[in-house]
Amino acid sequence: MRLKMVPDVTTLDFFRHTRLTFGASAVAMVLSIVAFFMMGLNFGIDFRGGTSIRTEAQAPVDIGAYRAAIMPLGFGDVAITEVFDPSFGPDRNVAMVRIQAQEGVEAITPEQINLMREALVAFDSTLVFAAVESVGPKVSGELIRSAIISVVLALAAVLFYIWLRFEWQFSVGAVAALVHDVVLTIGIFSVLQIRFDLAIIAALLTIVGYSLNDTVVVFDRVRENLIKFKKRPLVEVLNLSINDTLSRTVMTSVTTLLALLALFVLGGDVIRGFVFAMIWGVIVGTYSSVFVASAVLLRFGVKRDWSKNSGDTAGTQFGVKEG
């Protein structure tokens, strides 16, 4: 008995509710932007500078007591959060202590770390520093810059590639979908206040890659069907293409999500934020390749007669071409 996620032939109309889906996407994007400006992102030390210490102790984390132990040392703003993970067990209690960048020094000095360790150990003798990370303001500034540059570069490179391989309308559609995905991801990070660090940028770019992968597969089929059905209206051709590829879209999303879910549940708390971003990205990316990228393509319309100048700029298809 075979598992079948999608019937052999589907004839769903993906554009009947364009207004609704477009509206939903637009509202979600606006909300994301509002959340970003209202609540901001919970930047990790990669982008903000400062020091974060992961403590592990046998006694339960007492945030108030930790704070009381550290505050007198005069490191300024101290943020303490407890880290939960189902694998920890009762005698393993993990907390993240974050202090702001210190005046006059880039990274924290060994003396400062020792001061803090002594203060915390005095109050809980089982406590150890499992990891210490410190990033100076100079580097964090550069990290922000290079992160933004890499996201923008990735978008631009992809725009260019799709324009080269398809038509500019496809490019616009693909990038609209990508911007949609990135904005919604930043939005959810801002709403849930998940720590936003360098790894999340990697996740963002992977989302860009994944969403694109999806969009390109649909577009590839659109291009093929446009050649095959020269007379049919664009909306029909788009619908047909999405239906044709639906089974593959679902299969790939499911296998990727299966792998990511395994990481999310079992991969440990260190990369959970990273994996969360990717799961979110796969869901949003799959949605956007249909309801944003294709819908934008429908709005802009597309040149219909591909046969005349096949071989030059437009539609240089890899592989065998069928007449």
By CB under 8 A, how many residues form the interface with other proteins? 86
Q: Which of 12, 27, 192, 259 binds other proteins (CB under 8 A)?
A: 259
Is residue 238 at the binding interface for other proteins, with CB under 8 A as the rule?
no
User: What would the two tokens of residue 20 be?
Assistant: 């609704």
Q: Which is nearer to other proteins, 3 or 38 (CB)?
A: 3
Is residue 240 at the binding interface for other proteins, with CB under 8 A as the rule?
no
Q: Which is nearer to other proteins, 16 or 145 (CB)?
A: 145
Q: Which of 13, 19, 24, 114 binds other proteins (CB under 8 A)?
A: 114
Is residue 59 at the binding interface for other proteins, with CB under 8 A as the rule?
no
Q: Which is nearer to other proteins, 70 or 208 (CB)?
A: 208
Is residue 172 at the binding interface for other proteins, with CB under 8 A as the rule?
no
Angle among Cα 225, 9, 235 to the nearest 5 degrees reads: 40
Q: Which is nearer to other proteins, 147 or 172 (CB)?
A: 147
The rounded distance, in Å, linking the Cα atoms of 218 and 214 is: 7
Binding to other proteins, residues 273-292 (CB under 8 A): 274-275, 278
Q: Which of 15, 163, 196, 210 binds other proteins (CB under 8 A)?
A: 210
Is residue 89 at the binding interface for other proteins, with CB under 8 A as the rule?
no
Do you know the residue count of the chain?
323
Is residue 96 at the binding interface for other proteins, with CB under 8 A as the rule?
no
Q: Which is nearer to other proteins, 12 or 128 (CB)?
A: 128
Is residue 231 at the binding interface for other proteins, with CB under 8 A as the rule?
no
Q: How many CB atoms lie within 10 A of CB 265?
A: 12
Q: Are 117 and 129 in contact (CB under 8 A)?
A: yes
Is residue 56 at the binding interface for other proteins, with CB under 8 A as the rule?
yes
- Mapping DSSP onto H, E and C, the string for the chain reads CCCCCCCCCCCCCCCCCHHHHHHHHHHHHHHHHHHHHHHCCEECHHHHCEEEEEEEECCCCCHHHHHHHHHHHCCCCEEEEEECCCCCCCCCEEEEEEECCCCCCCCCCHHHHHHHHHHHHHHCCCCEEEEEEEECHHHHHHHHHHHHHHHHHHHHHHHHHHHHHCCHHHHHHHHHHHHHHHHHHHHHHHHHCCEECHHHHHHHHHHHHHHHHHHHHHHHHHHHHHHHCCCCCHHHHHHHHHHHHHHHHHHHHHHHHHHHHHHHHHCCHHHHHHHHHHHHHHHHHHHHHHHHHHHHHHHHCCCCCCCCCCCCCCCCCCCCCCC
Q: Which is nearer to other proteins, 80 or 116 (CB)?
A: 116
Q: Which is nearer to other proteins, 232 or 248 (CB)?
A: 248
**Binding string, 126-145, against other proteins, x = CB under 8 A?**
--xxxxxxxxx-xx---x--
Is residue 179 at the binding interface for other proteins, with CB under 8 A as the rule?
no
The rounded distance, in Å, linking the Cα atoms of 135 and 115 is: 18
Shortest reach from residue 319's CB to other proteins, in Å = 4
**Of 35-43, 102-110, 184-192, 230-238: span binding other proteins (CB under 8 A):** 102-110
Q: Which of 7, 9, 37, 323 binds other proteins (CB under 8 A)?
A: 9
* Radius of gyration of the chain, Cα coordinates, nearest whole angstrom: 25
**Of 66-74, 76-84, 203-211, 294-302: span binding other proteins (CB under 8 A):** 203-211
Shortest reach from residue 74's CB to other proteins, in Å = 20
Q: Which of 102, 225, 256, 294 binds other proteins (CB under 8 A)?
A: 256
Shortest reach from residue 49's CB to other proteins, in Å = 10
